[in-house]
Chain A
Amino acid sequence: MNAVLQFLQTWWLELVCGVVIVAVVPLIAGYVVLVERKLMADMQARLGPMRVGPHGLLQPIADAVKLLIKEDIIPRDADAFIFWFAPVISMVAALTSMGALYFGPDFRVARDINVGILFVIGVSSLGFLGIILGGWASNSHYSIIGAIRSTAQLVSYETAGGLAIISALLLSGTLKISAIVDAQSANHVWFIFLAPIGFFTYLVASIAETNRAPFDLPEAESELVAGYMTEYSGFRWALYFLGEYANMIVVASVATTLFLGGWLRPFPNVHWLNWLDFLPALLIAAVGVYCVYRAGKQPAKVQVGFMWAVALCCFAVALIYLLPWIFSPLRFAVPGLNGAFWFLLKVAGYIYIFMWLRFTLPRYRFDQLMHLGWYILIPLAIVNVFSVGVAMLLESEFGVNRWLALILTTIFTLAVSIYLVYLHDRRTVATSSASAVATDSYAG
């Protein structure tokens, strides 16, 4: 009993944060879905969800309620236990890995783990077990083909993603999340500028790892109904969905931490840009002003009221951001608040790129996906790790200017990658002339 009390005393804050994550992330994921639908509608010159709430703003809640009260069907020949358990693995992995993330200098969930970034990557990759097991347990052809595709995709792209991360880890020299961001602050530069190819590789690999278009082969609607979750319905399906979107947030956070400077604002060490610290409050207030401006143009009275409500919310948040500047005793909260703002802004930007790519690019064929992974992305990532290492050696041993070294090695990597593409093209031409129909053992 005593031990339990002591445990609670030491860890109550972390426990509360964990509960908050489990409670809030589903809501955030729901709104990410809404944003995605709205963006898709915008890019296709439609309006998107408009019915539930003004501009469809209550749509995620309606969807969640609908999914909750739907019947939970388990197919007769399915392996009931694994079928029941697999979506839980998927979601638990995504939410657990969120526990080690840093949202600001003093704004985190778990304690500062020494191998934080590896923990996040490793645990979030466990979500694939849920996909594979769920696909197998459904006892359906579509599901198992989706599961096998997702396994193959995971194995190929996790390698490239891991190697891409190494380039940032080499530059920072640590696995601790806070220390990685501190290294970017000490270097006066985000690592995306030092290792652009590493970032690009990670971007591609992370799209593949989160099963999103153009790499959404495991759940390709036009071929596999819904892939591994064909047989799922109701809340179990929602768990998969939630896991997928939570995983997206995790991947975006990892990229933000490693390459985009985490919670640092742009130009963190330039003093004449210190006014950027007021930017979060100003931006949020500007959104509020825009809402007030739009409120007059709404057709229905409800929508006018809702616009005003959104505007007031924005003003309240802006006020919270301004409070520490007015009352100096609250000044300690400034780095945390600003850090969280910049971090979430970068994460949102990364997710926006995901959605943009999804609505722009057509889906890959499975053999093209495998070719891209194994023939181009993995060699590119290996060469990139090698060249970042060479650049660091040039800097530390021969005193070459860091920027010069990095530009040279980046050019080298690019040359190698162009050669790889050339080789790949030649090979494809050779094989397609040898056999008119490409053999594709994994495609449905």
Chain B
Amino acid sequence: MLDSLLFYFFAGVAVLSAALMVTRRNVIHCAVFLITTLLATAGIFLQLRAEFLFVTQIILYVGGIMVLFIFVIMLVRLDAPIHQLRFRLQKFVAFLVALVLGLEVAGILLLARKLPGGGLFIKESASPDKLPPNSEELARSLFSTYLLPFEIASVLLLVAMVGAVVMAKNRKRSDLS
């Protein structure tokens, strides 16, 4: 009872603020609503007893990425790009993408029972007190079963980081000379 109450609360907040995030004109307001969406998603993670994901969501997305977003928004002039035409064209593309995504989700929900594992509706779940510690389970599967994907992802990120550093460095040199 309490669980579903919490779920509907967080889900409602997430959906509502996501809608507000897309429709607001002021970019900072959009960012604030994106933060609310992310926090509500984190709340859903916590409601599902995925406390590690909950904390990672808060630290990475809300504490890290959103701070950078707002930083960039503050440094860039906000009123110029809104009037440019190519951003208006994006509406149709976005609408198409959203339509395809919505159809996809609807299809999965409809076909859920036929998917392996009985679909999305979990009938019996373990009691939250008996679940093994979340972070340790995650670490174990990341560093044993999914070691290769993990390493690939980290190498990719490293390459991106090195690339960013190299790009920043090159520009500085040409500026100096």
A114 CB contact (under 8 Å) in B2, B26, B58, B133: B133
B1 CB contact (under 8 Å) in A3, A115, A128, A155: A3
* A133 and B75 in contact, given A114-B135, A122-B55 (Cβ under 8 angstroms): no
A152 CB contact (under 8 Å) in B28, B51, B71: B71
Shortest Cβ-Cβ A-B pairs, 8 listed: A122-B59, A3-B1, A122-B58, A125-B63, A118-B55, A151-B71, A115-B55, A115-B51
Q: A170 to nearest B CB, angstroms?
A: 12
Q: In the bound complex, what is the Cα–Cα distance between A7 and B64 (angstroms)?
A: 33
Binding site for B on A (CB under 8 A): 2-3, 6-7, 79, 82, 113-115, 118-119, 121-123, 125-126, 128-129, 132-133, 136-137, 144, 147-148, 151-152, 154-155, 158, 175, 434-435
Q: Which residue of B lies closest to A4 (CB)?
A: B2
Question: Which of A113, A126, A137, A147 has the most chain B CB atoms inside 10 A of its CB?
Answer: A126
Question: Which of A7, A114, A151 has the most chain B CB atoms inside 10 A of its CB?
Answer: A114
Q: In the bound complex, what is the Cα–Cα distance between A430 and B26 (angstroms)?
A: 44
Q: B141-171 vs A: 1/0 string, CB under 8 Å?
A: 0000000000000000000000000000000
- CB of B66 within 8 A of chain A? yes
B59 CB contact (under 8 Å) in A125, A155, A435: A125
Chain A residues within an 8 Å CB radius of B133: 114
Chain B residues within an 8 Å CB radius of A118: 52, 55-56, 59
- CB of B101 within 8 A of chain A? no
Q: In the bound complex, what is the Cα–Cα distance between A341 and B174 (angstroms)?
A: 59
Chain B residues within an 8 Å CB radius of A133: 28, 32, 70
Q: Which residue of A lies closest to B57 (CB)?
A: A122
Q: B174 to nearest A CB, angstroms?
A: 14
Q: B165 to nearest A CB, angstroms?
A: 11
Q: B17-44 vs A: 1/0 string, CB under 8 Å?
A: 0000000001011001001000000000
Q: A119 to nearest B CB, angstroms?
A: 5
Q: In the bound complex, what is the Cα–Cα distance between A148 and B67 (angstroms)?
A: 10
- CB of B176 within 8 A of chain A? yes
Interface contact A126-B63, CB-CB below 8 Å:
yes
Question: Which of B2, B63, B64, B70 has the most chain A CB atoms inside 10 A of its CB?
Answer: B63
Interface contact A132-B70, CB-CB below 8 Å:
yes
By DSSP majority rule, is chain A's interface helix, strand, loop, or mixed?
helix
Interface contact B70-A151, CB-CB below 8 Å:
yes
Interface contact A115-B71, CB-CB below 8 Å:
no
Q: B28 to nearest A CB, angstroms?
A: 6
Q: A143 to nearest B CB, angstroms?
A: 11
Interface contact B59-A148, CB-CB below 8 Å:
no
* A155 and B55 in contact, given A126-B62, A148-B74 (Cβ under 8 angstroms): no
- CB of B110 within 8 A of chain A? no
Interface contact A155-B176, CB-CB below 8 Å:
no
Q: List 7 A-B contacts (CB under 8 A).
A: A3-B2, A118-B52, A119-B55, A122-B58, A129-B62, A129-B67, A136-B74
Chain B residues within an 8 Å CB radius of A154: 67
Chain A residues within an 8 Å CB radius of B63: 122, 125-126, 128, 158
- CB of B5 within 8 A of chain A? yes
Q: In the bound complex, what is the Cα–Cα distance between A137 and B52 (angstroms)?
A: 33
Chain A residues within an 8 Å CB radius of B68: 155
Q: In the bound complex, what is the Cα–Cα distance between A5 and B12 (angstroms)?
A: 24
Interface contact A155-B71, CB-CB below 8 Å:
yes
Chain A residues within an 8 Å CB radius of B67: 128-129, 132, 151, 154-155
CB under 8 Å from chain A, chain B span 54-105: 54-56, 58-59, 62-64, 66-68, 70-71, 74-75
Q: Which residue of B lies closest to A162 (CB)?
A: B59
Q: A113 to nearest B CB, angstroms?
A: 6
Interface contact A148-B75, CB-CB below 8 Å:
yes
Q: In the bound complex, what is the Cα–Cα distance between A121 and B60 (angstroms)?
A: 11
Q: A136 to nearest B CB, angstroms?
A: 6
Chain A residues within an 8 Å CB radius of B64: 155, 158
Q: B143 to nearest A CB, angstroms?
A: 14
Interface contact B28-A82, CB-CB below 8 Å:
yes
* A82 and B32 in contact, given A114-B51, A129-B67 (Cβ under 8 angstroms): yes
